[in-house]
Amino acid sequence: MSASSRPRRPTVEDVAAVAGVSRGTVSRVLNGGHYVSPDAAAAVQRAIRKTGYVVNQHARSLVTQRSDSVAFILSEPQERLFEDPNFNVLLRSCTQELAERDITLLLTIAGTQADRQRVGRWVTAGHVDGVLLVSEHAGSPLIDELRSRGLPIVACGRPIGHEREISYVAADDRDGARQMVSYLRSRGRRTIGIITGPLDTPGGVDRLAGYRDVIGEPDPRLVGTGDYSQASGEAAMDDLLRRAPDLDAVFVCSDLMALGAVSALHHAGKRIPDDVAVGGFDDSKAALTSTPSLTTIRQDFTRVSAEMVRLLLATIGTENRSAVTLPTDLIIRNST
């Protein structure tokens, strides 16, 4: 009954029989067609179409020891994924970049500790040949687990505490921050605050470092921290205004937080950029469409994706790690 409704899938053997050739020849056709006569190849192609044959990936992977898929692991509570437009670009570009090489990208969300364990087991069970790691906070045990299995990994952004162990691709956060703060200075701003991201992420520490490069040791009144969400940006701005009512510019380390900061400034009756200039980071769509449009720093996530994929595929098979840092660009708009 079940056998009649779901018939046995055709195998290479079946295709071979229909095509009048052997298993080996069918396999050769399936894998590039070298050393196969045109006649045989055509017969096999016909037989594949006729039988509706599709390769059994498990059988193939069992012998080749590779799965032709890579995991895109997001170890972050899921909401962030949907709030942050950067993930969007990153995910799309990586998928694209891999599809061109006939490799499938599998998105896996490992928000909770339990998730991370499950994902760890799943990944090491052979499902993927490598891992793209996104937004891994410092000290997560997942990296160690994956490394102990010898799995190729490429991280997006500097993996704090693991810089010398795993490959990564990062935009030049520090230089971007320097560019922004220097620019604000050059426009005559003197009391420049900062709203950083979480300080266990590279975007948090490196952008703060860039700010310091220009400002020097900052007045603690001028430093606030958010978690990249709009709400946290608004709260941090409120705090900053309370502590330092005299500030005339603020560098907010993400556009989304900058949007929050803008509305906090509005509520406080400040004009932008007349009273307070606001600089963001990311060059997200929101930065362009907001009122006023946001001066920001562009990170080229399409290039980041391409580099990540290139690096991962290079890492699969060899054992070297490397790091790439891509430039960031200042985009000047109306908020400064």
Does position 56 interact with a second copy (CB under 8 A)? The reply is yes
Place of tokens 């948090």: 204
Q: Which is nearer to a second copy, 121 or 266 (CB)?
A: 121
Does position 186 interact with a second copy (CB under 8 A)? The reply is no
**Can you tell me the distance from the alpha carbon of 82 to that of 253, in angstroms, rounded to the nearest whole number?**
18
Three-state DSSP string of 90-103: HHHHHHHHHHCCCC
Does position 9 interact with DNA (CB under 7 A)? The reply is yes
Q: What is the pattern of x (binds a second copy, CB under 8 A) and - over residues 100-119?
A: ----x-xxxx----xx--x-
Q: Which is nearer to a second copy, 87 or 251 (CB)?
A: 87
Using the rule CB under 7 A, which residue among 7, 35, 217, 289 binds DNA? 35
Residue 44's nearest CA partner among 82, 13, 73, 76 is 13
**Can you tell me the distance from the alpha carbon of 39 to that of 33, in angstroms, rounded to the nearest whole number?**
12
Does position 56 interact with DNA (CB under 7 A)? The reply is yes
Q: What is the pattern of x (binds a second copy, CB under 8 A) and - over residues 6-35?
A: xx----------------------------
Please check whether residue 262 is in contact with residue 241, taking contact to mean a CB–CB distance below 8 angstroms.
no
**Can you tell me the distance from the alpha carbon of 265 to that of 272, in angstroms, rounded to the nearest whole number?**
8
N-term to C-term CA, the chain: 72
Does position 25 interact with DNA (CB under 7 A)? The reply is yes
Q: What is the pattern of x (binds a second copy, CB under 8 A) and - over residues 269-308?
A: ----------------------------------------
Please check whether residue 235 is in contact with residue 214, taking contact to mean a CB–CB distance below 8 angstroms.
no
Binding range to DNA, per CB under 7 A, among 58-66, 98-106, 259-267, 268-276: 58-66
Does position 51 interact with a second copy (CB under 8 A)? The reply is no
**Can you tell me the distance from the alpha carbon of 142 to that of 126, in angstroms, rounded to the nearest whole number?**
16
- Across the strands, what pairs with 154? 132, 167
In sign, the C-alpha dihedral spanning 282, 257, 308, 89 is negative
Q: Which is nearer to a second copy, 39 or 319 (CB)?
A: 319
3-state SS class at 70: strand
Does position 3 interact with a second copy (CB under 8 A)? The reply is no
- Across the strands, what pairs with 326? 171
- Across the strands, what pairs with 277? 249
Does position 82 interact with a second copy (CB under 8 A)? The reply is yes
Q: Which is nearer to a second copy, 62 or 332 (CB)?
A: 62
Binding range to a second copy, per CB under 8 A, among 42-50, 79-87, 158-166, 235-243: 79-87
Does position 127 interact with a second copy (CB under 8 A)? The reply is yes
Least distance between a second copy and beta carbon 45 (Å): 15
- The β-bridge relationship of strands 277-279 and 296-299 is unpaired
Rg of the chain's alpha carbons, rounded to an integer?
26
State the residues that interact with a second copy by CB under 8 A: 2, 5-7, 52, 54-59, 61-62, 67, 78-79, 81-82, 85, 88, 91-92, 95, 99, 104, 106-109, 114-115, 118, 121-122, 124-127, 148-150, 317-319
